[in-house]
Chain A
């Protein structure tokens, strides 16, 4: 089930993994807002934040190189806008876009690599997010791989029969066939959801998920929140002072 690398990393047991999810969410939000609102001295500030994130990744014993590559998922989007800004005669604009989006993605990746999703969602629930939405999210994540596998198998079966979406000459027929496959996938997902619900009722589900272990906000979590939130702020003040 752990096909995503961050999910595997999240099962580690570093001091960062053991912190309360709420402490990490608050620290992440402070980090993201400090980064998003920075203008002056962005390259220096960003370098400092990067060092901070790499230090945290090392502390959490998360594979640093793997994380740096994964966070690169935002770079194609930034590259498109860098090119567009350059065409509009504002070549310098692409750099802050790339820096901010990359560091933000890396920070979110650090959170998800040190906090298993169910624990993170439970933390968000106790911070006031609607539990119905979070439950839907948890189911979505749980069944994403199952339904994806089903889609892959349908693709494989179609390919084994010689079908390919690139056969443009047969466009109309292929289009209808793909629509039929999607309708079947929808109907199967729907039926699976009904089975899941019946199985949950049979096991005594009463409308709320019960957790085996609760999250507890300890004194060390408060200390962590304070230090992790102050670090990017202090860095930003230091950079802006040095430039002023």
Chain B
């Protein structure tokens, strides 16, 4: 599900573009460092693989088929940062060449699928990938990556004022759950087949994580995802005020939004300067 342009409200896409840009730059640097040699061809060709994987159909129910989304599979084989870079490149190419997903909404799509989706999908594997729950972690990673991306996309649409009756909302949550389970099952099956076909491509994490910390982290991700959805669904303070005084708040709201964005830009600038100074210090 790629959000086209025109669906998100300006504060939503602007904020997510502002958040996605530094995240992508950071993940790109990390990916460049984490791979032994220049692996541009590897990431590019595996990106093409994720595209092409949509052509291999999996049976889902009578007469229906599904396909792999791939974010979690890439994270398990390449590591999280390179997987994010590949997913970001896929989304950018889809938006530019295939008009699948908008350009202004690219930041939102990258945040949902390439950054948070991939990281959420990698989390269970990072925690349990080296233990006896490895199979479960592969399944949970695939499922979580799709669930987190889909819930975030839905929340962004709701925050932008796209109205949905509760029945549609519950149907789409049920659909998300089904596609999450499907992605988990496909990811697990492909990873198991891959371990037989070409074991060297599979990446194994170190089994030294604290299970309690892990449980807390996973619960936090789930709560945040579901919480965002509930928060986006219900009317918030500003919406209530707008209902009370429909006209008078319009200009005020704009001023608040632009102040907020200005604040974000200032904080971002400050972080950039501190990061530069700290980085220079370390390299000496």
Residues in A lying within 8 Å of B, measured CB to CB: 4, 6-7, 28-29, 32-33, 35-37, 70-71, 73-74, 77-78, 81, 84-85, 87-90, 93, 96-97, 99-101, 103-105, 108-109, 111-112, 117, 120, 130, 132-133, 135-144, 146-148, 150-152, 154-155, 165-168, 170-171, 174-176, 178-187, 189-190, 192-194, 196-197, 200, 205, 207
> Contacts A96-B6, A151-B55: A185 and B49 contacting too (C-beta < 8 A)?
yes
Contact of A130 among B25, B99, B168 (CB under 8 A): B25
The proximity string for B residues 189-200 relative to A, scoring 1 for CB distances below 8 Å and 0 otherwise, is: 110111011100
7 additional A-B pairs beyond A6-B97, A166-B59, A179-B192, beta carbons within 8 Å, are A84-B162, A117-B96, A140-B93, A147-B52, A151-B56, A179-B58, A185-B53
Q: Are A139 and B97 in contact (CB under 8 A)?
A: no
The chain B residue with its CB closest to the CB of A171 is B59
Question: What is the number of contacts between chain A and chain B, taking CB atoms within 8 Å?
Answer: 259
Chain B residues numbered 1-36 whose CB sits less than 8 Å from any CB in chain A: 4-7, 10, 13, 24-25, 28-29, 31-32
Q: Which residues of B contact A81 (CB under 8 A)?
A: 7, 157, 162
CB distance from B64 to the nearest CB of A (A): 8
Contact of A28 among B41, B97, B103 (CB under 8 A): B103
Most central of A100, A130, A135, A174 by chain B CB within 10 Å: A130
Contact of A139 among B45, B190, B192 (CB under 8 A): B45
Q: How far is the CA of A143 from the CA of B186 in the complex (A)?
A: 23
Q: Can you name 8 A-B residue pairings with CB atoms under 8 Å?
A: A29-B103, A88-B164, A132-B85, A139-B40, A139-B45, A170-B59, A183-B196, A197-B39
Q: How far is the CA of A109 from the CA of B103 in the complex (A)?
A: 11
Q: Which residues of B contact A155 (CB under 8 A)?
A: 55-57
Most central of B29, B47, B49, B193 by chain A CB within 10 Å: B49
CB distance from B29 to the nearest CB of A (A): 8
Interface of B, secondary structure class, is helix
> Contacts A104-B4, A193-B45: A179 and B52 contacting too (C-beta < 8 A)?
no
Q: How far is the CA of A89 from the CA of B104 in the complex (A)?
A: 28
Q: Are A166 and B65 in contact (CB under 8 A)?
A: yes
Q: How far is the CA of A101 from the CA of B103 in the complex (A)?
A: 11
Q: How far is the CA of A79 from the CA of B256 in the complex (A)?
A: 33
Interface residues of B, CB < 8 Å — how many?
74
Q: How far is the CA of A139 from the CA of B50 in the complex (A)?
A: 13
Q: Are A147 and B89 in contact (CB under 8 A)?
A: no
Q: Which residues of A contact B58 (CB under 8 A)?
A: 165, 174-175, 178-179
The chain B residue with its CB closest to the CB of A145 is B48
Q: Are B10 and A36 in contact (CB under 8 A)?
A: yes
With an 8 A cutoff between CB atoms, is B117 at the interface?
no
Q: Which residues of A contact B45 (CB under 8 A)?
A: 139-140, 143, 147, 189-190, 192-193, 196
CB distance from A147 to the nearest CB of B (A): 4
CB distance from B127 to the nearest CB of A (A): 24
